[in-house]
Amino acid sequence: MPPAPIELHAPHHAGHADSIRRLLRAHWGFDELRPMQSRALAAALDRRDSLVVLPTGGGKSLCYQLPPLVTGGSSIIISPLISLMQDQVRALTGMGVAAVALHSGMTERELADADRAIDAGEARLIYAAPERLVSSRGRELIRRVRPDAIVIDEAHCISQWGHDFRPEYRRLTELRAAAPAATWHAFTATATPRVQRDIAEQLRLRDPALIVGDCDRPNLLYRVSHRVDAREQTLAAIRRHAGQAAIVYCISRRETESLAEWLSSKGVSAEAYHAGLTPNVRHAVQNRFMTDRTSVMVATVAFGMGIDRSDVRCVVHTAMPKSVEHYQQEAGRAGRDGLDAECLLLYSSADAVRWRQLMDRSAAEAGLEGPSLHQMELLAGVQRFCASMRCRHRALAEYFEQTYTGDTCGACDVCLNESPAVPDAVVVSQKILSCVARLDGRFGVAHVVDVLRGSKKEKIVMYGHDRLTVHGLMRSTPAELLRSYIAQLVDQGALEHTPGDRPLIRLTTHARDFLRGEREVTLRAPKLAARAETARAEEDWAGVDRDLFDRLRSLRRSIAEDRGIPAYMIFDDRTLRAMARDRPATNEAMLRVRGVGPKKFEEFGAEFLRLINP
């Protein structure tokens, strides 16, 4: 049963409106809730289970951090990563909210302190790792805490249809019996409707409120480009955001190291990060990034789940990720503060082959015959996303089964017209369609490309396809470009893939219209991303004294370094820009700046005021 979407007339929520506003201002320094936060909060305060799907940066944390402050009760939050828990607890403590974490990385003493706070009933928020909770110790904890709510962050980990299945998440329902009175709340950023249903079923949510926000991230500028020279393309992207935070994803550890080294030789402050580093080194690297001493992390996907730095201005994928879900998560780490950021994806058709090999290997290691059909479908999906030349925002929204309204997003390589239209598109597409027609829809894209490019491969000769009139018809067109054209013809409804993990390509019923030239067709030749900056990037800076902003950033960096805390925990970029625009001169004016609450003001206000008003 899919959970029913509901509109809430929240009596409790309404009654709490004043205290919510007060708490929001006092601890976070925010003036109001976002609409989806308001609905999520209403569900929690009405004591109704909920499933909340909001994109990265959508403000999920607030939805589960506020209710126990309103009611004076406690919530247990299950979070998959220790570093993420630590960051949140640190941030909350810094805002004057009583929060503790329980995990294996803590000393006896820290654990004893946390226990004391829990037993004294002081801890409003208790973070715990899933493996800790499903042990007998976890059930004991629940009996002691008697939580009002159990919150599961990154809830997609519970679904095998998701992209990051973790078996220990499956066992969380065992906790139901220990806390019969608690409501359950699942949060995730990336879940197709199928994964949403699975989460609700696996967690046995009771009549949950389903709160699904728009998954689009309008502040992200997406670029998808053929990989011509990964290093140069990456460097160009990083330079578009010079001096600012960036994450570069590579598939292998070796690649992260050589790319980080090369970037450093070009004067970029870059370091490699991957699971093969010793915990100490890894921690140090992560810390330098969090305190803004290193700008660019060149990482395998091991990096990021635990990263909350909200001012990442650029995320580069040097190769295709293994699913659109992964892409959404990883690229989603850009611009969490809502300010403009760029996501560049470099791909080549060789990437799919590489993933296939990696998947085969890990399947073999697990004693399986091969990767699951589901994995292969995800891979085919991301290949289609890369090869297509449709608006990236639209393509992502539709992948997650949402509708995208508006014609051009103004924030993707397609809508910005960065790839020129092919002048003789009609002729080009007729050549391709004729070839597919001759092959009778019985071959895959690779074979079609081989025939058109006049390959003499064994398979081509064996089928006698070197004798077809279409053989060699597009000899001078690079294979990558041809693949892109084919994907574009799929998008425009002239061609279609057969379902399954080894899809064939065939004509649709409309293909004839295209062949006769009765239907319009546009093809674009994707090329290296241009240097264009969006108009919206300018808007974010309207009225901001950039020089002052840079000085505020250095002040933040030195405070972060002194205290060993992540820079964004002091004030985020949005707040610094607001300061550099409004130039608050008095305590009152400073307290009105977005993101400056009383606690933060007390701690940092004077220093920043002094810098603004020397």
- Total number of residues shown for the chain: 614
Q: Quick count: other Cβ atoms within 10 Å of Cβ 37?
A: 24
Q: Which residues pair with 189 in a beta bridge?
A: none
**What CA–CA distances, in Å, run from 110 to 102, 117, 136, 142, 565?**
9, 11, 20, 19, 18
Taking the complex as a whole, the smallest distance from the CB of residue 148 to ligand ADP amounts, in Å, to 20
Taking the complex as a whole, the smallest distance from the CB of residue 273 to ligand ADP amounts, in Å, to 20
| Among the residue ranges 28-36, 267-275, 404-412, 414-422, the one whose residues contact ligand ADP (CB under 6 A) | 28-36
Q: Kindly state whether residue 79 participates in binding ligand ADP, applying the rule CB under 6 A.
A: no
- Which residue in 61, 196, 225, 256 binds ligand ADP (CB under 6 A)? 61
* Sites for ligand ADP among residues 171-190 (CB under 6 A): none
Label residues 559-572 b or e (16+ Cβ within 10 Å = b): bbeeeebbbbbbbb
Query: In terms of CB distance, is 124 or 336 closer to Mg ion?
Result: 336
Query: In terms of CB distance, is 61 or 196 closer to Mg ion?
Result: 61
Q: Which does 415 bind (CB under 5 to 8 A by kind): Mg ion, Zn ion, ligand ADP, none?
A: Zn ion
Greatest alpha-carbon span in the chain: 84
Q: Quick count: other Cβ atoms within 10 Å of Cβ 428?
A: 20
Q: Cα(452)–Cα(448) distance, rounded to whole angstroms?
A: 6
- Which residue in 50, 56, 225, 233 binds ligand ADP (CB under 6 A)? 56
Q: Which does 259 bind (CB under 5 to 8 A by kind): ligand ADP, Mg ion, Zn ion, none?
A: none
Q: What mask of x and - would describe binding to Zn ion in positions 347 to 386, judged by CB under 5 A? A: ----------------------------------------
User: Computed from CA positions of residues 230, 236, 240, 241, in that sequence, does the dihedral angle turn out positive or negative?
Assistant: positive
Taking the complex as a whole, the smallest distance from the CB of residue 322 to Mg ion amounts, in Å, to 22
Q: Quick count: other Cβ atoms within 10 Å of Cβ 214?
A: 16
Q: Which does 492 bind (CB under 5 to 8 A by kind): Zn ion, ligand ADP, Mg ion, none?
A: none
DSSP state of 455: -
Q: Which does 239 bind (CB under 5 to 8 A by kind): ligand ADP, Mg ion, Zn ion, none?
A: none
Q: What mask of x and - would describe binding to ligand ADP in positions 303 to 322, judged by CB under 6 A? A: -------x------------
Q: Which does 391 bind (CB under 5 to 8 A by kind): Zn ion, Mg ion, ligand ADP, none?
A: Zn ion
Taking the complex as a whole, the smallest distance from the CB of residue 61 to ligand ADP amounts, in Å, to 3
Q: Quick count: other Cβ atoms within 10 Å of Cβ 22?
A: 12
Q: Kindly state whether residue 29 participates in binding ligand ADP, applying the rule CB under 6 A.
A: no
Q: Where are the alpha helices (DSSP H) in 56-135?
A: 60-71, 82-94, 108-119, 130-133
Q: Kindly state whether residue 247 participates in binding ligand ADP, applying the rule CB under 6 A.
A: no
Classify 343 as helix, strand or coil. Answer: strand
Query: In terms of CB distance, is 58 or 162 closer to ligand ADP?
Result: 58
Q: Kindly state whether residue 54 participates in binding ligand ADP, applying the rule CB under 6 A.
A: yes
Residue with tokens 């053989």: 471
Q: Cα(35)–Cα(38) distance, rounded to whole angstroms?
A: 5
Classify 447 as helix, strand or coil. Answer: helix
Q: What angle do CA 255, 316, 390 make, to 5 degrees?
A: 130
* Sites for Mg ion among residues 51-90 (CB under 5 A): 60
Query: In terms of CB distance, is 393 or 599 closer to Zn ion?
Result: 393
- Which residue in 223, 309, 333, 336 binds ligand ADP (CB under 6 A)? 336
Query: In terms of CB distance, is 149 or 345 closer to Zn ion?
Result: 345
CB 294 within 8 A of CB 246: no
CB 549 within 8 A of CB 580: yes
Query: In terms of CB distance, is 64 or 385 closer to ligand ADP?
Result: 64
Residue 561 dihedral angles phi and psi, to the nearest 5°: -65, -50
Query: In terms of CB distance, is 164 or 257 closer to Mg ion?
Result: 164
Residues near 262 by Cβ (< 8 Å), separated by ≥ 6?
A: 231
CB 67 within 8 A of CB 24: no
- Which residue in 58, 68, 147, 321 binds ligand ADP (CB under 6 A)? 58
With 0-12 / 13-18 / 19 or more C-beta atoms within 10 angstroms meaning exposed / middle / buried, residue 336 is buried
Site size toward Zn ion, by CB under 5 A: 5
DSSP state of 192: -
Q: What mask of x and - would describe binding to ligand ADP in positions 549 to 578, judged by CB under 6 A? A: -----------------------x------
Q: Cα(339)–Cα(549) distance, rounded to whole angstroms?
A: 14
Query: In terms of CB distance, is 393 or 556 closer to Zn ion?
Result: 393
User: How are beta strands 341-347 and 505-507 bridged, if at all?
Assistant: unpaired
Taking the complex as a whole, the smallest distance from the CB of residue 60 to Zn ion amounts, in Å, to 26
* Sites for Zn ion among residues 383-412 (CB under 5 A): 391, 393, 409, 412
Query: In terms of CB distance, is 51 or 414 closer to ligand ADP?
Result: 51
Query: In terms of CB distance, is 338 or 444 closer to ligand ADP?
Result: 338
Torsion angle (degrees, nearest 10) of CA 119, 123, 129, 132: 10
| Among the residue ranges 33-41, 360-368, 369-377, 498-506, the one whose residues contact ligand ADP (CB under 6 A) | 33-41
Closest residue to bound Mg ion by CB = 60
Query: In terms of CB distance, is 61 or 256 closer to ligand ADP?
Result: 61
Q: Cα(250)–Cα(385) distance, rounded to whole angstroms?
A: 19
Taking the complex as a whole, the smallest distance from the CB of residue 557 to ligand ADP amounts, in Å, to 18
Taking the complex as a whole, the smallest distance from the CB of residue 296 to ligand ADP amounts, in Å, to 21
- Which residue in 13, 16, 30, 391 binds ligand ADP (CB under 6 A)? 30
Q: Quick count: other Cβ atoms within 10 Å of Cβ 237?
A: 22
Q: Which does 249 bind (CB under 5 to 8 A by kind): ligand ADP, Zn ion, Mg ion, none?
A: none
Query: Half-sphere exposure of 289 toward its Cβ, with a 13 Å CA cutoff?
Result: 27
* Sites for Zn ion among residues 549-578 (CB under 5 A): none
Query: Half-sphere exposure of 242 toward its Cβ, with a 13 Å CA cutoff?
Result: 5
- Which residue in 33, 70, 559, 609 binds ligand ADP (CB under 6 A)? 33
Site size toward ligand ADP, by CB under 6 A: 16
Least Cα distance to 236 among 527, 529, 526 occurs for: 529
Q: Cα(322)–Cα(349) distance, rounded to whole angstroms?
A: 12
> Which chain residues interact with ligand ADP by CB under 6 A?
30, 33-34, 37, 54, 56-62, 310, 336-337, 572
> Which chain residues interact with Zn ion by CB under 5 A?
391, 393, 409, 412, 415
